[in-house]
Each structure stands twice: as C-alpha cells, then as structure tokens.
C-alpha cells in the first residue's frame, strides 16, 4: 500500500505526526474528557496503518510523501465533523497503496453537494418528509410536492445490493429525488451514513412494505400491461395510484423495462413516491436516454468511472466492518510488497482440481504470481524481502489450501516469498444473516485494496471489489485458445439483463451495439458494460 520511505521522510513524518498526537492528547486530558474515554478510543480517530508509522524509520530518498487525500478528490463532504462515528471515512485513504488515477469531475462534486442539501431538507425526521408521508397515506402521491423519493428495496446477495444501490442513487441524482434504503436486519450495521446531518435509512414506521401484492396493484410494468397506465397518458385528469413499484430485477419483463424509455421516465416524474427493487447494475441504461446525455457527460467524463466514484462516495464500512478490515490488513497484508486478490465464485458444478489448476495457471501465465520449482526444494529465497500477499475469497477453503500448499512445499523460481490468506469460508451463501454480510463486505473491501485482481465471471461480489478499488480485473474467461484469462477493458460492473427494446425505433435491437461506449460484457455476453 505504501512504498518504503527514506530516513528524511521518516524524520519529517515523525516531527509532524507525533507532536500532533501529543498535543491532541494533552488538550483532551486538560479538558477532562480522558476520564470517560479509553486510550484506544482516544487514539482511534488518528489511527493510520502500521506500515506508515514503520516507514518513518526506513532509509532511502529524503523526499517526504504528500499528505493523503482523505476527501478523495473532494468527492467526500467536509461537513462530517465526528470522525469517531465512521472511522473508515477518514482513514480509508491511508490503506490505498496509491491515489486513484480517476479524479471526480468538478461538476460531479457540485451535484453531490447539491444532493446532500436536498437530502438534508427532505430526509427522515424533517417536516417535509412527514408531509410527504401524510400525502402518501392519503392517496394523493401524485400531487405537487417539494420532495420526491425513491425507496430502494433489497434483493439477493450483498454484491447485488451494492451495485443496485449505486444505480438507484444515480437515478435519484438525475431526477432530483431523495434516495432512502429499506435496510433489513441483515444489513443493519454494514455502512456509515453517506450524507451529512441526515440519514438514508427509511424509518421503520414507513407505511408501505414490499410484498408480491405491490407488483400486482402498484407495479409499473403490470399496470402498463393491463392498460391501467400509459406513458403518454394525461395525468392531470387521470386517477393514479399514490405510488408506483419498479420491478428491476433480472427476471422482469418487457413492460417493466419500459422504465428505461424516455417517455416512461417522464411519467414516473409525476409520482412523489417510487419503490424500486433490483439486483442489477442498471446505471448503463441511463446513458441511452437522450435527456440525460449532457448531464451524464458532465458528471462522468470517463464513462468507466461511474461505479468507482459513486461507490467510493456511498459505501463507507461501518466501524464494525472497518475493525474486521483493519485487523486483517495489519496482520496479513500490511507488510507485503504487492497484493493479489483472487475472488472465486461458482454458479454451477466444477471439477475442483481442473478449476483450481486453471485459476493458478491464469495467475502464472499473466505474471501475477511466480512459478515454483518442483524438483529443487532447497532453492534459496531472498533474505529479508517483503512477501507478495495473496488474498483468496471463496465460500470454500480448497482453493486457498491448494495455493498455500504450493508455495509452502516449493520454492519460487524467482526467490520471492508468497503468503496466501483467506479470511473466511462460509461454505454456503447466507445473505439473510447479518454476520455473513459483515464478513462479505469486509472481504469485498480487502479485495479492493489489491494491486491486481482476478475475478470470477458473472459475480457481483467481484464487480463491487473491482469498482471500489478502481481496478480492471483479470476475468476467469478464456477469450481464445491461447489465453487462459482476460484483462477487462473496464472496471465497471456488468448490467446482466438490459432491455432489448429500442424505445424510439419501437423494435428489438442489440443493445450492445447502439453506442460506442456500451458493449457486451466479456464475462457475460448477454449483458452490457460501460467502456471509454
């Protein structure tokens, strides 16, 4: 994460950091606050990775490293003043080996500040929110209102939830709506609040809960299908439901997908309340709507950075998850010269030996890991050299054990030392359990700290990790007879099941060929992904 620094840098760093900490502790002691705080808590707000502190004693160049950008290119708000409530928001920059090469646009930063003001004005526990709920209950949800809302409803595993929340937020941002999350018990302590002085959590007394009945009586697609709603209807003289339900999961039909048409968007703006359920990364679809062309170009001049910027902005690990991340990082990854993440997810049966050999061969042939000498077990290693750390995430332990044993039982041909680690192996996915999701988010984030990443096709877990880390992954997909895996040209998640209907031409089209920046996914050709 951080390169070895020189004696000169170490002296500068020591002179700056430790007097600062001493002064902070002195002020707290004089104020009497120390009487009710442990030393660990007292120091937690100023914690940085051990390798940064250790680097103060290292030798080399005398150039000091510039301070880490805690605001991540100003995408983060300066309005958060309580560092202890979300340690990751202030400390995460120190755990990135290098700054992101993708700077958020000034326009995106301005729009995020504008959104924060809107959310603060209209969010939970405000008078405007209370009035909007009263209007919803009184069945007048299409009457003119100052605040408009989209309520996200979870579906499937954590990776699906993360990419769909990011998509829902982009939808809210483009339409000046307020995003609220219906967080079930299995997501209760995953994320910090992303917006200052307010909450994105839907209050527990909200009068509507998701059920299949919503799809029947309030489903946008179902109402279109039964001709109870039309995109070109005169809403001023029509009897409309108080809210609409948007069914944007993988199994939705062509009527549900009318959401992605411009006339559909115009109708949906008439509703103050929208409930949205999705397990998809549907953000790419907005790039096909002419009304959003200019706005999206200003927000994301680099089209492959949509999830990277929105994910960095939205998904800060809670203190519980951050504890998992930092403890594991310090124990197994902090001292590494480089870090390789390997994310393994199977969606069917596979022969273990052949599949694990395939993954290892991918890492070897792409020079992500060194080969081993299977004949001379006494080859010397480079004394004192930092290891390359490999982080394996999988529901099963067999892949980790095979790779670990390979480097334990045989010396590398380069003399490098390879350490292999796996934080957990749950055997089965249990997205309905909070503890399972806490570990899952910790492992997604740890993968995002890698220097290089190997991911499984179709996996939203891998998509979230590569996007948060700003990494173009090596996909476990064979592009031809010679290459074992493919270096993706984009770090964006794949929109697995996009619409196939051209709203203007009124006919089915190949959605991956209608725009140069939208192409079929390398790991799932039916889907589409944003490219530059």
pLDDT of residue 140 exceeding 90, the answer is no
pLDDT value of residue 23 = 44
- Name the more confident of 52 and 132: 132
pLDDT value of residue 139 = 78
Residue 402 Rama label (left phi>0; alpha psi -120 to 50; beta): alpha
Beta bridge pairs of residue 126: none
pLDDT of residue 526 exceeding 90, the answer is yes
pLDDT in tens, 45-75: 334 455 544 443 333 333 334 445 666 667 8
Distance CA 283, CA 517 (A): 13
pLDDT of residue 25 exceeding 70, the answer is no
What is the arithmetic mean of pLDDT over 493-516?
A: 89
pLDDT value of residue 26 = 40
Distance, C-alpha 213 to centroid of its chain: 31
Q: What percentage of the chain carries pLDDT values higher than 90?
A: 66
pLDDT of residue 9 exceeding 90, the answer is no
What is the arithmetic mean of pLDDT over 405-410?
A: 94
CB proximity list for 465: less than 8 A, separation 6 or greater: 341, 343, 444, 445, 447, 448, 453, 455, 471
What is the arithmetic mean of pLDDT over 17-21?
A: 42
pLDDT in tens, 326-365: 999 999 999 999 999 999 999 888 899 999 999 999 999 9
pLDDT band at 96 (very low <50, low <70, confident <90, very high): confident
- Name the more confident of 77 and 371: 371
pLDDT of residue 152 exceeding 90, the answer is yes
Residue 109 Rama label (left phi>0; alpha psi -120 to 50; beta): alpha
pLDDT value of residue 50 = 53
* Candidate from 5-19, 219-233, 361-375, 502-516 with smallest mean pLDDT: 5-19
Distance, C-alpha 408 to centroid of its chain: 34
pTM score, two decimals? 0.86
pLDDT of residue 180 exceeding 60, the answer is yes
Q: Which range among 172-176, 187-191, 224-228 has the greatest average pLDDT?
A: 172-176
pLDDT value of residue 72 = 65
pLDDT value of residue 69 = 61
What is the arithmetic mean of pLDDT over 450-460?
A: 97
pLDDT value of residue 143 = 64
- Name the more confident of 433 and 447: 447
* Candidate from 26-30, 131-135, 184-188 with smallest mean pLDDT: 26-30
Phi, psi (deg, nearest 5) at residue 500: -115, 20
pLDDT value of residue 3 = 35
pLDDT band at 38 (very low <50, low <70, confident <90, very high): very low
* Candidate from 8-22, 351-365, 417-431 with smallest mean pLDDT: 8-22
What is the arithmetic mean of pLDDT over 24-53?
A: 40
Structure tokens at 91: 């400390």
Q: Which range among 18-22, 200-204, 501-505 has the greatest average pLDDT?
A: 200-204
pLDDT value of residue 381 = 66
pLDDT in tens, 231-271: 888 776 777 888 999 999 999 999 999 999 999 999 999 99
- Name the more confident of 20 and 400: 400
pLDDT of residue 456 exceeding 50, the answer is yes
pLDDT value of residue 37 = 38
pLDDT value of residue 211 = 79
pLDDT of residue 11 exceeding 80, the answer is no
- Name the more confident of 478 and 167: 167
Asked whether the beta carbons of 300 and 108 are under 8 A apart, the reply is: yes
pLDDT value of residue 376 = 75
pLDDT band at 135 (very low <50, low <70, confident <90, very high): very high
Q: Mean pLDDT across the chain, nearest whole number?
A: 85
CA gyration radius for the chain? Answer: 25
pLDDT value of residue 378 = 65
Distance CA 491, CA 486 (A): 13
* Candidate from 116-130, 220-234, 251-265, 421-435 with smallest mean pLDDT: 421-435
How does DSSP classify residue 95? G
Half-sphere CA count of 341, side-chain side, radius 13 A: 28
pLDDT value of residue 212 = 76
Helix and strand element counts for the chain (H, E): 17, 16
Distance CA 379, CA 513 (A): 53
pLDDT band at 1 (very low <50, low <70, confident <90, very high): very low
Q: Minimal CA–CA distance to 25: which of 10, 46, 7?
A: 46
């Amino acid at each position: 994460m951080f390169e070895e620094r020189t004696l000169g840098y170490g002296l500068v760093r020591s002179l700056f950091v430790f007097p600062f900490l001493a002064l902070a502790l002195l002020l707290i002691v004089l104020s009497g606050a120390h009487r009710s705080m442990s030393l660990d808590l007292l120091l937690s707000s100023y914690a940085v990775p051990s390798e940064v502190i250790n680097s103060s004693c290292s030798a080399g160049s005398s150039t000091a490293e510039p301070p880490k950008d805690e605001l991540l290119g100003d995408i983060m708000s300066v309005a958060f003043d309580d560092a202890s409530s979300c340690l990751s928001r202030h400390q995460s920059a120190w755990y990135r080996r290098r700054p992101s090469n993708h700077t958020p646009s000034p326009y995106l930063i301005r729009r995020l500040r504008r959104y924060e003001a809107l959310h603060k004005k209209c969010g939970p526990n405000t008078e405007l929110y209370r009035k909007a709920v009263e209007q919803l209950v009184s069945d007048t949800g299409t009457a003119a209102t100052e605040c408009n809302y989209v309520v996200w409803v979870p579906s499937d595993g954590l990776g699906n939830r993360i990419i769909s929340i990011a998509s829902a937020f982009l939808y809210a941002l483009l339409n000046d709506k307020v995003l609220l999350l219906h967080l079930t018990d299995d997501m209760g302590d995953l994320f910090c609040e992303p917006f200052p002085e307010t909450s994105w959590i839907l209050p527990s007394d909200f009068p509507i809960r998701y059920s299949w009945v919503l799809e029947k009586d309030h489903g946008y697609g179902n109402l279109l299908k039964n001709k109870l709603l039309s995109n070109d209807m005169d809403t001023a003289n029509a009897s409309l439901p108080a809210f609409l339900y948007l069914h944007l999961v993988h199994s939705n039909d062509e009527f549900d997908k009318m959401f992605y048409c411009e006339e559909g968007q115009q109708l949906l703006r008439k509703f103050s309340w929208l409930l949205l359920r999705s397990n998809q990364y549907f953000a790419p679809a907005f790039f096909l709507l002419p009304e959003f062309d200019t706005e999206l170009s200003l927000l994301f001049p680099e089209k492959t950075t949509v999830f990277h910027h929105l994910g960095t902005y939205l998904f800060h690990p809670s203190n519980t998850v951050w504890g998992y991340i930092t403890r594991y990082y310090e124990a197994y990854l902090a001292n590494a010269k480089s870090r390789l993440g390997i994310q393994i997810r199977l969606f069917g049966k596979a022969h273990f030996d052949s599949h694990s050999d395939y993954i290892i061969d991918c890492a070897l042939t792409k020079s992500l890991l060194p080969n081993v000498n299977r004949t001379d077990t006494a080859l010397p290693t480079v004394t004192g050299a930092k290891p390359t750390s490999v982080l394996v995430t999988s529901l099963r332990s067999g892949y980790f054990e095979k790779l670990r044993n390979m480097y334990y039982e045989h010396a590398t041909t380069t003399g490098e030392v390879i350490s292999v680690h796996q934080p957990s192996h749950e055997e089965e996915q249990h997205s309905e359990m909070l503890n399972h999701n806490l570990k899952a988010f910790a492992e997604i984030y740890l993968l995002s700290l890698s220097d290089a990443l190997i991911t499984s096709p179709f996996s939203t877990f891998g998509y979230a990790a590569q996007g948060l880390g700003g990494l173009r992954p090596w996909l476990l997909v064979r592009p031809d007879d010679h290459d074992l895996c493919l270096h993706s040209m984009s770090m964006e998640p794949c929109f697995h099941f996009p619409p196939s209907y051209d709203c203007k031409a009124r006919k089915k089209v190949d959605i991956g060929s209608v725009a140069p920046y939208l192409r079929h996914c390398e790991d799932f050709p039916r889907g589409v992904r944003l490219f530059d």
